[in-house]
Amino acid sequence: MVFFAHPNSVQLARTYNAVLVMDCNYKTNRLHIILFDILGITSFNTTFYVGFVFLQKETEEYYTWALENVKSLYSGISYSPVIAIDRDLALVKCGEACVSN
């Protein structure tokens, strides 16, 4: 698994931390690895990428690892984001536990 976020994206995520949108793209690269996208929304109603994660599988274990990395971007600040996801049951199960303070 690989998690990456640009420093400017991290700064935006820490500034505009009210909403996170998460989704996966399947088999869109030549290795057929799952790309998990995390996006934020600014107060100007524009979106930006918070980070990306390449996942081997869509399981609770992998999502937990990814969400813990997202959570680490917000260390030292208080936040309670609204998280928008599709009905991926593994992500739903681990999402609340990983992002709660």
Res 70: pLDDT? 87
pTM score, whole prediction: 0.77
Please give the residue that has the higher pLDDT: either 81 or 23: 23
Res 68: pLDDT? 87
62, pLDDT greater than 90? no
- Sketch the domain layout of the chain as residue ranges: 2-99
Please give the residue that has the higher pLDDT: either 97 or 78: 78
43, pLDDT greater than 50? yes
Indicate if the alpha-carbon torsion angle 64, 95, 41, 101 is positive or negative: negative
